[in-house]
Amino acid sequence: MGTTQLETVPEPKYLHLKTVLSEALDSEFSVGEILPNERDLAARFGVARATLRQALEQLELEGRLQRRRGVGTTVAPPRVGVALGTGRHTWPGTGDDAWQPMDRERAVPPASVAAALGTGPDEVHLVRRSRMSHGRRVATELLYVPAASVPDLSAI
């Protein structure tokens, strides 16, 4: 990853950083690759380590990263087999906590995702959904769904 300074943006800094990091994961890293340490990443983006940690935590909640003590932070493989639909999906044992679909669009997947799904350069549905806990949004998730397997997701 090259050096980049975050500019002043209207959204919280950690959310903007999460977006920037997500793009870097798609273009500069492969599955299983270890990211630079927090100190180096924070210096690259000109943010405090606490801000970086918030962004990394969000990416971990989305399933984009795996953080392991003694190993570091690695790029997670794409998740396969996630339930989709227009309704709320609760997690077992979590009460009112749930995933809620936000929106859907057609998109060209990153090369690593296309390879994992076996779709090649074909388009996919990119589904965004939010993790709700006690009525508050606590995380977002991006799902890549091959268009050939589910031709119409217009209900989302």
- At 41, which CATH number? 1.10.10.10
| Element housing 99 (H / E) | strand 98-107
The answer to whether position 67 is within a domain reads yes
Same domain, 25 and 69: yes
Q: What is the pLDDT of residue 156?
A: 57
Same domain, 97 and 54: no
The answer to whether position 44 is within a domain reads yes
**Residue 99 lies in domain:** 89-146
Same domain, 49 and 98: no
The answer to whether position 96 is within a domain reads yes
The answer to whether position 82 is within a domain reads no
Comparing CA positions, the residue from 89, 114, 117 lying closest to residue 102 is 89
* Cβ-contact 114, 120 below 8 angstroms: yes
Same domain, 107 and 134: yes
Query: Per residue of the chain (156 residues), what is the pLDDT tens digit?
Result: 444 555 565 778 888 899 899 888 888 888 889 999 999 999 998 999 999 999 999 898 888 899 888 888 999 887 665 555 545 545 444 455 567 777 788 888 887 778 778 777 677 888 888 877 767 777 777 788 887 777 676 665
Full-model pTM: 0.51
The answer to whether position 122 is within a domain reads yes
The answer to whether position 28 is within a domain reads yes
Triad 26, 31, 33: Cα angle to 5°: 100
Q: How many domains does the chain have?
A: 2
Q: What is the pLDDT of residue 3?
A: 47
Q: What is the pLDDT of residue 81?
A: 57
Same domain, 17 and 67: yes
The answer to whether position 8 is within a domain reads no
